[in-house]
Amino acid sequence: MLFLLSNYKFLKVAPTEGQLFYWADILVPHVDYYINDVAMSSFKNFDDRELRLILGNYVSYNFDKYNRQMLVGAILNVLGEMESDNTDLASLRIKLGREYSEPSLSDVPKDKTPAKSRTASTAGRSSGQRAVIFEYAEKAWVELGKPTDLSIIRKMRIDVMNELEQIGVKRTTASTTLGAWQKNLNLD
């Protein structure tokens, strides 16, 4: 089950991403929104203040003493009480009058949390994975004709991450390092 969130309010709960993309275009066109699974991990990018804002739209209770896990648990309870929207895609397309539009990479809001000061050593890491990841990325990028379109680069990064995962590179490591590779080439 997936949810659609905008302005700290849950707009819909539905079984497919496509349904929620349609509902986003219908209910909140030109407004930032967030779609994810109904799961604890879906709220990892929200700080405690934002979690309290979400809960405040549904429950009149002081959540100041709730820890993070309790806040997310309460949010999951709210989502569990919401009725799932099972409107089929054809009906939603008719209602919208066109195909839904997926957000582009430039529409995704940048992380607004300030950088933490470094306390660890600034010495380089010795794992050697960075060079391997850069090599795979460079090879894939050249094979595609050195595109600069972000949607093509995004798909290429996913393909490269899948390849790297097969040789034992963690997906998060690959993603972070591919971001650095992309930034080095000014492709962001």
* pLDDT given for residue 45 in this prediction: 85
How many Å apart are CA 96 and CA 16, to the nearest integer? 17
Using the 3D structure, point to which of 104, 119, 140 is the last residue of a domain. 104
Confirm if 93 and 22 have CB atoms less than 8 A apart. Answer: yes
pLDDT at residue 81 is higher than 70: yes
- Summarize the confidence of residues 1-19 as an average pLDDT: 84
85 and 148 in a common domain: no
* pLDDT given for residue 106 in this prediction: 46
126 or 153: whose pLDDT is higher?
Answer: 153
Q: Could you give phi then psi for residue 4, rounded to 5 degrees?
A: -115, 120
* pLDDT given for residue 127 in this prediction: 57
Is 110 part of a structural domain of the chain? no
**C-beta atoms surrounding 79 within 10 Å:** 20
99 and 9 in a common domain: yes
The parent domain of residue 164 ranges over 129-184
Is 67 part of a structural domain of the chain? yes
State the total domains in the chain: 2
135 and 60 in a common domain: no
* pLDDT given for residue 159 in this prediction: 92
- Summarize the confidence of residues 156-175 as an average pLDDT: 89
Is 40 part of a structural domain of the chain? yes
Using the 3D structure, point to which of 51, 71, 104 is the last residue of a domain. 104
147 and 75 in a common domain: no
73 and 8 in a common domain: yes
- The 3-state DSSP class for residue 14 equals strand
176 and 85 in a common domain: no
154 and 70 in a common domain: no
CA torsion through residues 180, 43, 2, 163, sign = positive
90 and 19 in a common domain: yes
Is 158 part of a structural domain of the chain? yes
99 and 7 in a common domain: yes
pTM above 0.85, yes or no: no
How many Å apart are CA 88 and CA 183, to the nearest integer? 40
- Summarize the confidence of residues 78-97 as an average pLDDT: 85
Instruction: Give the closest residue to 173 by CA, choosing from 141, 127, 142.
Output: 127
Q: How many residues does the chain have?
A: 188
77 or 102: whose pLDDT is higher?
Answer: 77
